[in-house]
């Protein structure tokens, strides 16, 4: 489903608010050493994010800021990166993304508890199973488009949850208890933290583990986005029929998007289950899929920094106002509405997607130039 075209009616307001164009222009012309300096500063900032000084503002009184980061924010950022591949880059509306999150969680629950596999073994297996689940879902359904695909993915998410809820193999609604923590890799301490010692008392090691997953996902997805795979996804997102006429094997690339997005979601499910030491079907309600989709759209569909920002905001806002009890969700909903009114293209849209919204046109001409290049040989390259 082309979410960009759905938003075109609001394109006239897309220019309001803070412009990121000067920053983008600087970044486009920045030499390599300046870019690496920015990357290093961002990583250092992420490492110090769980500090008490930041938590005194970011977390409500009486709440643990490191727990908020590991339980909600980092998980949502990782899931938003995965769903951004499917929705933002390939333009496929997936309303059942929580199913892949559940596959990862239940994989470690089954193999670690029943068969005593280690965390790292089950992590690899969960990523493989989640990718396989993406292929199994996509293979018979990716011939569908738009709303029909959305309905099928919504049904898949419910099937996974209800299967777990009614299966005695995973204890039904009682779930699986006693999931082991990741093994301690080292007990070395830095700045009062043992980042490789996992347990219940200190949640910061889980945040750092998720941070590693996030960095790996960013590097992997960014390289894909700047390859012929990313160009093929862009052509599918804007006009699938035209992409097929240009020689793009659309089914293959859509299936790849589903598998990659599912694998990233499954890795998040593994860490979630290992930290909680238990897993329940109730952890995988439809609202999780809806919030992750909101994070992708809110941050800027198709843009990696936008997905990170959207995941952070969607996870942080409800927790920050938890002291307001029932009113916190009212504030959260109002904030989402206001952000969509004043920033319909997202908080951090890609330059390409912002141009689409402002002009009310697709990018097939640009994609044809990018994918097809100056001659048919580049179209053939994408079609390989």
Which residues lie closer than 8 Å to 183 by C-beta, 6 or more apart?
A: 118, 119, 120, 198
Q: What's the structural domain count of the chain? A: 1
Q: Which domain holds residue 114?
A: 70-183+194-382
pLDDT value for 357: 53
Rounded CA gap, 336 and 341, in Å?
9
Q: Does a structural domain hold residue 134?
A: yes
Q: Does a structural domain hold residue 320?
A: yes
pLDDT value for 39: 85
Name residues of the chain where pLDDT drops below 70: 1-21, 24, 27-28, 351-384
Q: Does a structural domain hold residue 220?
A: yes
pLDDT value for 101: 96
pLDDT value for 330: 85
Contact between residue 112 and residue 275 where contact means Cβ atoms under 8 Å apart: no
328 torsion bin: left (phi>0), alpha (psi -120 to 50), beta (else): alpha
Q: Does a structural domain hold residue 38?
A: no
Please tell me the pTM assigned to this model. 0.85
pLDDT value for 28: 65
pLDDT value for 287: 92
pLDDT value for 367: 45
pLDDT value for 123: 96
Contact between residue 353 and residue 19 where contact means Cβ atoms under 8 Å apart: no
**pLDDT per residue as tens digits for the range 130-185:** 999 999 998 888 888 888 899 999 999 999 999 999 998 999 999 999 999 888 77
- Number of residues in the chain: 384
CATH number, residue 287: 1.10.3470
Q: Does a structural domain hold residue 26?
A: no
């Amino acid at each position: 489903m082309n979410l960009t075209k759905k938003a075109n009616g609001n394109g006239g307001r897309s220019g309001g608010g803070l412009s990121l164009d000067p920053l983008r222009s600087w970044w486009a012309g920045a030499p390599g050493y300046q870019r690496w300096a920015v990357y290093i500063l961002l990583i250092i900032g992420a490492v110090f994010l769980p500090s008490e000084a930041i938590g005194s503002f970011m977390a409500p009184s009486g709440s643990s800021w490191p727990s908020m980061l590991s339980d909600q924010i980092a998980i949502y950022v990782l899931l938003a990166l995965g769903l951004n591949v499917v929705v933002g880059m390939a333009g496929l509306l997936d309303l059942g993304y929580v199913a892949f999150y559940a596959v990862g969680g239940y994989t470690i629950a089954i193999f670690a508890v029943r068969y005593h596999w280690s965390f790292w073994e089950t992590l690899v297996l969960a990523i493989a199973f989640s990718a396989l689940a993406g292929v199994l879902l996509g293979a018979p359904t990716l011939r569908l488009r738009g709303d029909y695909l959305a309905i099928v993915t919504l049904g898949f998410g419910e099937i996974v949850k209800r299967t777990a809820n009614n299966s005695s193999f995973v204890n039904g609604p009682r779930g699986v208890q006693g999931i082991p923590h990741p093994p301690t890799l080292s007990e070395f301490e830095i700045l009062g933290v043992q980042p490789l010692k996992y347990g219940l008392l200190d949640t910061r090691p889980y945040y750092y583990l998720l941070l590693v997953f996030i960095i790996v996902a960013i590097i992997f997805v960014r390289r894909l986005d700047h390859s012929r795979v990313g160009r093929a996804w862009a052509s599918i997102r804007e006009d699938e029929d035209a992409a097929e006429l240009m020689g793009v094997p659309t089914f293959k690339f859509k299936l790849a998007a589903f598998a990659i997005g599912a694998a990233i979601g499954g890795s998040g499910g593994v860490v979630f289950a290992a930290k909680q030491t238990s897993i329940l079907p109730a952890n995988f309600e439809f609202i999780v899929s809806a919030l992750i989709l909101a994070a992708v759209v809110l941050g800027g569909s198709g843009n990696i920094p936008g997905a990170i920002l959207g995941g952070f905001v969607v996870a942080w806002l409800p927790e920050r106002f938890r002291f307001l009890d029932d009113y916190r969700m009212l504030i959260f909903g109002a904030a989402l509405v206001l952000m969509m009114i004043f920033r319909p293209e997202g908080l951090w849209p890609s330059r390409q997607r912002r141009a689409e919204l402002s002009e009310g046109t697709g990018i097939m001409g640009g994609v044809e130039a990018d994918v097809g290049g100056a001659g048919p040989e580049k179209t053939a390259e994408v079609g390989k």
